[in-house]
Chains A and B, each alone.
Chain A
């Protein structure tokens, strides 16, 4: 599992080491260790299941942010075929923190757009840690309008800690770019499915998230503010584990919480031990869920689709009348 294992995954890593050790020994001495191996593998699966069944909200944040999870480009490789990437917003530049283009899902053309993080420092610098500038959102919008023009559904993948906060981003209208996407997505005349695959960070996530179906992977999170930001503002301490834990629980950012609040439409189960434990299995499940949802949405006329999408978001909120 490598060096970037999460703190609470240490017991899993421990057993994995034992298994590796055993396998290595077996090879060296060319003898069978199946009898010893089987209980260890069982134990590993049981432990993964147990740890992931009882994840706390802050642990889910750590899982959601893990660089070992599948990213948008991984799903493009594993769930889709015939992908051709389209670059640029036609106004300023190409923003590599959002990728998009034509692809096929079971042979049918779709437009896929998603945040893209990096696995190592070099790639993260290129992808700006998956935190888009306005031109990223404007590229996304350009691709959505392109999909609308050719009556092709839009599938988005949300995986960002937020829109970039910096001089250039402000100068070029980060607010306007996000606002414009919310506006245009609420009347796009093709089906939209948004899936939170990792971290759904605030407005920078929502700018790809106004959809007919909003889905979350089981261990992903979706929040109005980062747990660190929330803790820093409310309790003047964004760093200590206690305040971060408190913020993570208080903000109700997990998939089950958000399903209950009717913010999302469904939860996509992850393999035992999380999406990063088995990319292929995760991709297969996602693939099937997307097809199922798309089949339902494709039956609706554009007017009805837009009407229902708007109504869904208009219903969101809790107040006393």
Chain B
């Protein structure tokens, strides 16, 4: 048999071929840096290359802010209904429930942060653009009431395009409702820290988001009353560079600090200790 006709034995692969499914890669929206998803996740969704703060899900914020295994979700059973028989709303809700895997645009939890008891609400932009309807308002109100009951500080992380128009004026009234709860916390001297993430606009920014005893914002977050698109429309021209970013708001005196996501827990902890008469955390005494 000629050598070229020789039957080849299939060669044994030296090792298992690396199977890389396509969804393992993620690309930074700001700089285009591509990396494996795991690396973004481990870095709290901050781009390892350009420091851009990407959107993060509500449960992930709970993970980086509250002490591990210290917390439990509250009012997880509250569900949105369709009070106005608004066209397509039930279908949109159903789709959001399936896609986002959260029960609504907010997650509320009670737990500890650097061993301090704290009540935390985190909005989830993935659920209908973080829109505020009756459930968002009610969950904040109940968490606020829990804070009044137990004298726990309140922390709210906002990420929202505004009120949920499918619930009409009911959603508008959630602005008044949350403000009413916060005024009670104020009277009882219970600290409230508001954290603004990308984006915080409309009815959310014009209510609890702007009422913190301290207001922090993530770098680069778009924050404003009207969205950039609406303002561009009324102006008929492009907006100045950096308009409505966290850094712009800091410059105009609207927020206390712009804080890197990696520093968020430490900064909130420091603020809460100051405002609730607790001694400094270890490592802060001398600095």
Which A residues have a C-beta under 8 Å from some C-beta of B?
A: 163, 165-167, 169-176, 178-180, 182-184, 186-187, 202-203, 206-207, 209-210, 222-225, 230, 233-234, 246, 250-253, 258, 261, 263, 309-310, 313-314, 316-321
Contacts and interface: CB of A to CB of B under 8 A. Distances in A.
Given A166-B234, A179-B179, A186-B180, A253 B169 contact: yes
A206 B225 contact: no
Contacts of B183: 183-184, 186-187, 310
B188 to A, nearest CB: 12
B169 A258 contact: yes
Contact of B167 (A165, A167, A318): A318
Contacts of B239: 167
B231 A167 contact: yes
Interface string B223-256: 1111000110011000110011000000011100
A314 B252 contact: no
Nearest to B223: A175
Interface of B: 77-81, 83-84, 86-88, 133-135, 137-138, 141, 163, 165, 167-177, 179-184, 186-187, 202-203, 205-211, 223-226, 230-231, 234-235, 239-240, 243-244, 252-254
B203 A170 contact: no
A170 B83 contact: no
B208 to A, nearest CB: 7
Contacts of A316: 134, 137, 170, 173-174, 176-177
Contact of A253 (B78, B135, B168, B209): B168
A90 B119 CA distance: 37
11 contacts: A167-B239, A179-B207, A203-B207, A209-B176, A250-B168, A251-B165, A252-B84, A258-B169, A261-B170, A314-B177, A318-B170
A167 B84 CA distance: 34
A250 B87 contact: yes
B167 A182 contact: no
B170 A263 contact: yes
A262 to B, nearest CB: 10
Given A223-B168, A246-B87, A183 B224 contact: no
B182 A183 contact: yes
A314 to B, nearest CB: 6
Nearest to A222: B169
Contact of B165 (A176, A222, A233, A263): A233
B176 A182 contact: yes
A177 to B, nearest CB: 8
B210 A175 contact: yes
A166 B187 CA distance: 34
B225 A163 contact: yes
A167 B242 CA distance: 12
Residue picked from A166, A174, A186, most chain B C-beta under 10 Å: A186
Nearest to A221: B169
Contact of B138 (A169, A261, A319): A319
Given A251-B168, A313-B173, A319-B80, A165 B231 contact: yes
A182 B207 contact: yes
Contacts of A252: 84, 168-169
Given A182-B175, A186-B179, A318-B83, A170 B134 contact: no
A314 B148 CA distance: 14
A202 B172 contact: yes
Contacts of B168: 223-224, 250-253, 261
Contacts of B235: 166-167
Given A170-B231, A176-B210, A224-B203, A206 B77 contact: no
B83 A167 contact: no
Given A224-B203, A317-B138, A319-B78, A203 B187 contact: no
Given A173-B252, A258-B169, A167 B243 contact: yes
Given A179-B209, A224-B167, A317-B137, 11 more contacts: A167-B243, A179-B205, A184-B183, A186-B179, A224-B172, A246-B87, A263-B173, A313-B173, A313-B180, A319-B134, A320-B80
B226 A174 contact: yes
A12 to B, nearest CB: 30
B224 A318 contact: no
A175 B78 contact: no
Contacts of B171: 224
Given A170-B224, A186-B180, A263-B173, A318 B81 contact: yes
Contacts of B207: 178-179, 182, 203
B176 A313 contact: yes
Contacts of B203: 202-203, 224
B101 to A, nearest CB: 18
A79 B205 CA distance: 36
Contacts of B187: 187
A169 B244 CA distance: 11
A176 B254 contact: yes
A2 to B, nearest CB: 29
Given A167-B231, A263-B170, A174 B181 contact: no
A196 to B, nearest CB: 11
A165 B206 contact: no
A207 to B, nearest CB: 8
B211 A179 contact: yes
Contacts of B181: 314
A206 B176 contact: yes
The listed residue with most A CB atoms (<10 A of its CB), out of B177, B230, B240, B254, is B177
Nearest to B86: A250
